[in-house]
Amino acid sequence: MISMAYKGYFAQVKFDPRENIFVGHVLGISDRTSFHGETVTELTDDFRQAVDHYLEDCAKSGCDPQIPHPAK
């Protein structure tokens, strides 16, 4: 399992051998936010876009984004 971080958000990544892609999920928020990529570069870019999209959606809807708690 791989971990990623961006703007204080963390993700867990697994490899899906059936689809031959990496699939990740943002942790610590109740909204289901996922991303994927065939390469590390695609995965990293899609993770950053997913977090940015989540933050933009929160701003547009006037709600505060959830801030994940750092792992202990």
Domain segments of the chain as ranges: 2-61
- Closest by CA to 12, choosing from 1, 21, 20, 22, is 1
Query: Which is more confident, 70 or 38?
Result: 38
Strand-pairing partners, residue 6, are 9
Average pLDDT, the chain: 91
The whole-angstrom separation of Cα 20 and Cα 53 is 25
What pTM did the predictor assign?
0.86
The whole-angstrom separation of Cα 31 and Cα 36 is 17
- What does the pLDDT read at residue 1? 62
- What does the pLDDT read at residue 72? 45
